[in-house]
Structure 1
Amino acid sequence: MRGKLFLLSFLSAGLLAAAWPPWGYAPLLFIAFLPLLYIQEIISTDDKLKGKHIFLYGFLTFFVWNALTTWWIWYASEFGAVMATMVNTILMSFTFLIFHKVKSVLPDRIGRFFLIPAWITFEFLHHHGELSWPWMTLGNGFANQLSWIQWYEFTGVFGGSFWVLTVNVLLVEILLYKKTLATTLARKRLLILSLSVIIFIPIIISFLIFHNYKIQENNVTPINVTILQPNIDPYKKFNSDFQEMTEQMLVLAETKIDSTTDYLVFPETALVESIWENNINNSWTIHRLQKFLKKYPKLKIVSGANTAYEFSKGEKHSATTRKFLQEDSYYDSYNTALQIDSTKTIQVYHKSKLVPGTEKMPFIKHLKFLEQFALDLGGTTGSLGMQEERTVFVSPNSTSKIASVICYESIYGQYVSEYIQNGADFIFILTNDGWWSNTAGHKQHLEYASLRAIETRKSIARSANTGVTCFIDQLGTIHQAQKWWTASVIKQTMYSKVGTTFYTRNGDYIAISMLLISISGMLFAIAKYIRNKMAKVDQKQIKIIQN
């Protein structure tokens, strides 16, 4: 028996990994949970097996899945790879255990369906916690199956998670169906009909959208964009001559710029000079870019940068504030996006979805001492500063508004939609994926960007330091993808739809609904547990009185 359960655990893990981008076959997700759900069925009907066994077999499945899918983190940090895998595995295993516990007290007809709200609740909370790591959200698994998921503009990736989980549960219900006095054949027929509808209706809707969508209709004013892929080693750039690197980037960029170019996009932390925002106009880099712009008055430069801000005396500090070593004053460091144009105003946005362990130490407000353990990947180490508002860069004539999304932020659907709510017409993703070498990591990150284009129906210009730099249209289709680890520059006219999508306006409403259902289910389970305990106590008291 134990051998069979171990084999089923590994089978689920293998199916999940084999479905995942960039090389996986996404439809395998529809059967990936079947072996694990069969394990749960066996354990729930065997008095010798308990909840700890659910956690054990779930742990095996989720550990192997995480390890096979995100092993590439090892290239950036061995410790980070181990922690990401272990934390995610433990959280997933606890989620499956909670599902098992709640299912055991729910009516048989609906018990197994509790997996859907329980799992999506985990994914939703994992988008927002201190250890936030939503890379493995099930809806992300369709990132290379774009013609199937055009309806993400209504649901976001949680719609994909709901789809995957519902199909798995319905399949298990059908496969384990047993006709009894309480369950008729009509229920099985209903399950089969429901399964067919759940699988095929979304695909049909998506195909209709995909093949009838008009990229160049109902658009805001198009913009001509040039994107740079400078290909500078991320482990060496912060110790190199920043003036020389800036000159090299401008020389490369000028090969694809003319008087009609509206935007030039540089990647994350392309400007490595330590720029003080208090005196930003005194920066050599800023002066050099402003001088460059005099040749192209229409041009705006959007670039990643390392910046810092010194607090004045009496000014309120943040949780990430640092003290100068030789002075009694404080500052914050930021991973920043800047827009530099023909005006004297430099527009600034600070990255605010930070990578745990490198850009942000979890629970920093209460565990400040953890700063010393932050991973050093070059540049500023320790927890970086953030901001509350999703700042949108506005062109001097207000004809275009840009969402400057920095690296890790691009895997958060609702977060990106906040830029669109603030008026953004186009999305520029500034990233540096060179930490992971030429592995699945940077390819997954690229394909996840396509999901943001579908959710928002906004075109994307993606500038990646070492690759992959590209354009992505409103259907999520990638154009002019550049080769990994090559210096290059590309240009294209970008189009984006006027207005906002249903998902942009309503956010993660599916996940919030599942959260409420999960809370209700757990409260019901707790209440039933307490009632059963009290009933046992009453029975004991009755027996004592009778004796």
Structure 2
Amino acid sequence: MSFFDRFKNPKTAEEKKRIRQERLLLILSGVLLGISFPPFPFPFSLLAFVAFIPFLLVIERRETLLTLNKATYLMSFVFSLITLYWVGSWQPESDPFLMAGGIALLLAYPCVMLIASTLYYLSGKIFPKKINLWFFPVYWVLTEYLLTLTDIHFPWILLGHGQVKFLAFIQAADIIGTFGLSLVVFYINVFLYKAFSNYKNNNRYSVNYLVAGVSIFLLFVVYGLIRISSIELPNRKVRVGLIQPDINPWKKWGTGSLDKMVDDYLSLSQQAVDSGAQIIFWPETALPVYLMGGNYQNEVDKIYSFLEKNKVTLLSGMPDIQYYFNKEDAPADAKFNKSTNSYYTAYNALIELTPGTRNYKRYGKMKLVPLGEHVPFSEEFSFLADIFKWGVGLGGWNIGKDTLVFKVPVENNLGKDTISVSGLICFESVFPIFVAAFVQRGAEFIAVVTNDSWYGNSSGPYQHKDFAILRAVENRRSVVRAANGGISCIINPLGEIEAETKMFTKDVLVGDVVLNKEKTFYTEHPKIVTAIISIFSLWVVGINILLFIKKKFDL
């Protein structure tokens, strides 16, 4: 077949019919996978265990890299369209650049998943087709893992994340993590597909495949039920107050009254203190100013006065800036301000304000939203930062340097205590291995401050809240979320949501949070699954390189 023959119309009506059928199968796979994710309720989660069957039926017929990638792209595009449609915001106030970014993501995500189909094609040069199909789940999960790396990271729709409503199934995440769950979900699909295809061909092995697939599924469910019923949660607790001010994120960065914002936050915080809260959490970028690095002494004094009076600690999302007046003192990623002739670093940060001292601790967000908060590779190519800018001025944060666990003194049900808490900002909570690093450093519970109001009452805020369930189960840590417009919640170490607010309400959520010092197998070894699949995939690529060299040079 010549190059131009590939673009000719199918020669026969039968071929046209086959192509239509295959496209429908690929669309069906994408739809089933998409509706297995939140915000769809639990029974829909089960669809993920059969969603890949139509897709596998198609790709087993494909021989060339082009046709394999076409199939993967179409299925992945439908999947991402259902689950990620919200990223562009699509509200009247939305920034056009954010909308463009949303469209770009919908088109780009399926391209990333072509890594899986390309590796499948390459391993087809090593293994027979019937054996090769068993490796597709490995390549898919490897691609999910790659989405956590580099500046262009967005590990949102991991297969494991789709099972957060299925509490019994996800309990094994304390051993294998979310990527391990993704692998299991895909392998159950392969077993069921093999059962279906063998039954269709009257092969006696069809029952064996069916039994194997169902047995794996039941093994994970039984393990989960045993864990849920047998885990004894520690008695050590702390009472927290989660402040949900419901401030319009688009207008907040304009000319709103800072003094009124502070008063509103303190009024809500007083309600939390009156209900017994010992640690107060304000959401991401709670105030639209560099509070601790600018000329805002009145506001700072007012906040500290509240903390001193009530003897509570505040952990707040807050923009934070640090100035350097000598180039030698400034870090490599510092920016230059011509008007002040100084260098500076600016962070989307979480700060800890404690009564008794004006010295505050800061954690700078390390996983910045590509384009939305940080221009990918702008450290290497500084001109990119000047090209891409948000209308609301959020696109130029520096990347935080290190995980930080806050040490907070409290009096809890066991007397005077010091509590270790990690502070994650916004979509950092969807990075499984990254979150485990905070628990490795001693975090006894996980706090997430976020502002999901950018995306309206779409799937995004609900997915973001639900995905935190897996961080709780993986590490057996309570997770609390303080969200500007919702959804704020408290999740226990079993992944059960104990309390939550509604979207777009001004609210205060107060509750007792279980503290845990014990580390799970996953927490201590979060990279086992990804290391194994990475090594295998590198081996496949290496063998193909050797085969290419052998053929090229007739060795």
Would the TM-score normalized by the shorter structure come out above 0.5?
A: yes
SS in 2 for 1:363: coil
Matched to 2:59, the amino acid is: Q
Contact 1:318 1:385 in 2 (8 A): no
Matched to 2:506, the amino acid is: A
Structure 1 residues 392 and 525: CA distance shift in structure 2, 3 A:
same
Matching residue of 1:6: 23
Matches within 5 A, 1:434-513: 434-513=453-532
Matching residue of 2:13: none
1:84 to 87, 96, 105: 105
2:174 to 137, 144, 153: 153
Contact 2:168 2:222 in 1 (8 A): no
Matching residue of 1:227: 242
| Cα separation, 2, equivalents of 1:150 and 1:377 | 42
- Asked whether 1:143 is paired with 2:164, we answer yes
1:291 to 305, 317, 320: 305
Structure 1 residues 179 and 257: CA distance shift in structure 2, 3 A:
closer
Deviates more, 1:394-403 or 1:74-83: 394-403
Give how far 1:190 is off.
4.7
Matched to 1:172, the amino acid is: Y
Matching residue of 2:341: 328
Contact 2:195 2:208 in 1 (8 A): no
- Asked whether 1:168 is paired with 2:182, we answer no
2:35 to 6, 10, 18: 18
| Cα separation, 2, equivalents of 1:72 and 1:259 | 36
| Cα separation, 1, equivalents of 2:246 and 2:199 | 60
| Cα separation, 1, equivalents of 2:391 and 2:445 | 30
| Cα separation, 1, equivalents of 2:332 and 2:461 | 31
- The number of residues matched between the two structures is 521
Give how far 1:227 is off.
1.1
Matched to 1:195, the amino acid is: G
Contact 2:440 2:524 in 1 (8 A): yes
Matching residue of 2:451: 432
| Cα separation, 2, equivalents of 1:318 and 1:59 | 41
Q: CA RMSD in A?
A: 2.3
C-alpha offsets along residues 266-319 of structure 1, whole Å, 9 cap, x if unaligned?
100112222354x79x7433322111112212x111111111111241445445
Contact 1:471 1:481 in 2 (8 A): yes
Contact 2:196 2:206 in 1 (8 A): no
Deviates more, 1:259-268 or 1:229-238: 259-268
- Asked whether 1:244 is paired with 2:260, we answer yes
Matched to 1:495, the amino acid is: V
Structure 1 residues 390 and 283: CA distance shift in structure 2, 3 A:
farther
| Cα separation, 1, equivalents of 2:513 and 2:74 | 46
Matches within 5 A, 1:294-313: 294-297=308-311, 299-313=312-326
Matching residue of 2:11: none
Structure 1 residues 320 and 158: CA distance shift in structure 2, 3 A:
same
Contact 2:142 2:534 in 1 (8 A): yes
C-alpha offsets along residues 459-478 of structure 1, whole Å, 9 cap, x if unaligned?
12211000011111111111
SS in 2 for 1:271: coil
| Cα separation, 2, equivalents of 1:252 and 1:424 | 26
Unaligned runs of 5+ in 1: 45-49, 539-547
SS in 2 for 1:294: helix
| Cα separation, 2, equivalents of 1:177 and 1:533 | 39
Contact 2:442 2:517 in 1 (8 A): no
SS in 2 for 1:275: coil
| Cα separation, 2, equivalents of 1:333 and 1:519 | 38
1:67 to 62, 81, 88: 81
SS in 2 for 1:284: helix
Give how far 1:14 is off.
1.2
Give how far 1:105 is off.
2.9
Contact 1:457 1:496 in 2 (8 A): no
- Equivalent pairs: percent with the same residue? 26
| Cα separation, 2, equivalents of 1:80 and 1:532 | 43
Matching residue of 2:221: 203
2:364 to 350, 358, 368: 350
Contact 1:126 1:133 in 2 (8 A): yes
Deviates more, 1:22-31 or 1:426-435: 22-31
TM-score by length of 1: 0.90
C-alpha offsets along residues 50-93 of structure 1, whole Å, 9 cap, x if unaligned?
32121112211111111111111121521111111122110112
SS in 2 for 1:310: strand
C-alpha offsets along residues 419-455 of structure 1, whole Å, 9 cap, x if unaligned?
1111111111100000000011100000011111111
| Cα separation, 2, equivalents of 1:285 and 1:157 | 42
| Cα separation, 2, equivalents of 1:124 and 1:382 | 25
Matched to 2:249, the amino acid is: P
Contact 2:352 2:360 in 1 (8 A): yes
Contact 2:239 2:512 in 1 (8 A): yes
- Asked whether 1:33 is paired with 2:52, we answer yes
Matching residue of 2:209: 191
| Cα separation, 2, equivalents of 1:65 and 1:450 | 22
C-alpha offsets along residues 167-194 of structure 1, whole Å, 9 cap, x if unaligned?
12222333333999xx995x65653443
Structure 1 residues 529 and 459: CA distance shift in structure 2, 3 A:
same
| Cα separation, 1, equivalents of 2:168 and 2:231 | 12
TM-score by length of 2: 0.89
Structure 1 segments of 4+ aligned residues over 6 angstroms from their partners: none
Structure 1 residues 485 and 117: CA distance shift in structure 2, 3 A:
same
2:403 to 376, 390, 395: 390
SS in 1 for 2:180: helix
| Cα separation, 2, equivalents of 1:195 and 1:335 | 45
